[in-house]
A = this chain, B = another copy of it.
Amino acid sequence: MTQPGFTGAGLDRADHLRLDPERLAALLARGDALLLELDVVDPVLDQDNALSWGPLNEATETLFLGLEDGRPLFAPLVQMEQFGQRAWSVFRILSLMRPRDAAIWGAARSLNEWHNRHGFCSVCGHATAPFRAGWGRKCPNCEAEHFPRVDPVVIMLAEHEGRVLLGRSPHYPPGRYSALAGFVEPGESIEEAVARELFEEAGVVVRDVRYLTSQPWPFPGQLMMACIGRADSDALTLDAELDDAFWCDRAGVEAALAGDPQAPFQAPPPYAIANTLLTRWLDGA
């Protein structure tokens, strides 16, 4: 079964060590401890297209990623000039990376972006500082504790008589279409968010929503949850978030996933869960 991108890091995150300053200091002092190399927050690859790692140094503030077969792995806490933006160049690098590396890097990227966007306490406005080995920030003024934000997003196919709904956002590369997606809001379930988003963006009413699989998405920190719902009608009413949308049959999806230049659309890349979703739909999910 195709595994979604950004999964399979295989690290023991060792949560119990994060609040244990003595054992954490011992990990940092270990001769075999490794520090992930980053180009700001982008991955740095070695000649085998594997993630580059170096030794720890005392000048770098670190995030504890976890233990790999007992060896402690850290990432630097970097200062980002900008955030909330993706450099498209990172997607070329990602296409070269093995899944385990993409997953480890993804966690480091999400954490870094969260720290950079959360330097101040949302409760009282005071500057905060990292704690829990980088898995939180604490306010020295009001003592509020803040934890990394993970935003749940539904990404879904509506299905109608053997065809599935694909759409394109204005910022997509030419020819690219994908599954529709949207943030889950307070006060709704995954299944309700799927139905709401398909209705808002495309005017499509679905029922029998089923969940397939999930992935973390590090731009900056979404949890993508892939679903399929059944539509009773193929009528479309697009909102402003979509440039275009159409119902695609199996042959079209097969051609796109195979990279056929005659395909009716250009498929999302393998590390995006939309690709996994389309693959599993073809497989009968």
In the bound complex, how far is the Cα of B189 from the Cα of A126, in angstroms? 32
In the bound complex, how far is the Cα of B152 from the Cα of A195, in angstroms? 19
Contact A215–B187 (Cβ < 8 Å):
no
Chain A positions 178-223 with a Cβ under 8 Å from a chain B Cβ: 183-192, 196, 200, 211, 213-216, 218, 221, 223
A189 interface neighbour in B122, B124, B125, B215, Cβ under 8 Å: B215
Known: A13-B196, A135-B185, A185-B150. A190 touches B126 (CB 8 A): no
Taking A7-B191, A104-B187, A119-B125 as known contacts, 19 extra A-B pairs with beta carbons closer than 8 A to each other, sorted by chain A number, are: A4-B189, A7-B189, A9-B187, A103-B187, A107-B188, A110-B187, A111-B187, A114-B186, A118-B122, A119-B123, A120-B123, A120-B124, A122-B122, A122-B146, A135-B185, A147-B183, A149-B149, A184-B223, A188-B216
A184: B residues at CB distance < 8 A: 150, 223
Does A29 belong to the interface (CB within 8 Å)? no
Contact A213–B189 (Cβ < 8 Å):
yes
1/0 contact trace for A58-100 toward B, CB 8 Å? 0000000000000000000000000000000000000000000
Chain A positions 14-28 with a Cβ under 8 Å from a chain B Cβ: 15-16
Residue count of chain A within 8 Å CB distance of chain B: 57
A108: B residues at CB distance < 8 A: 187
A239 interface neighbour in B13, B16, B104, B110, Cβ under 8 Å: B16
Does A277 belong to the interface (CB within 8 Å)? no
Contact A185–B152 (Cβ < 8 Å):
no
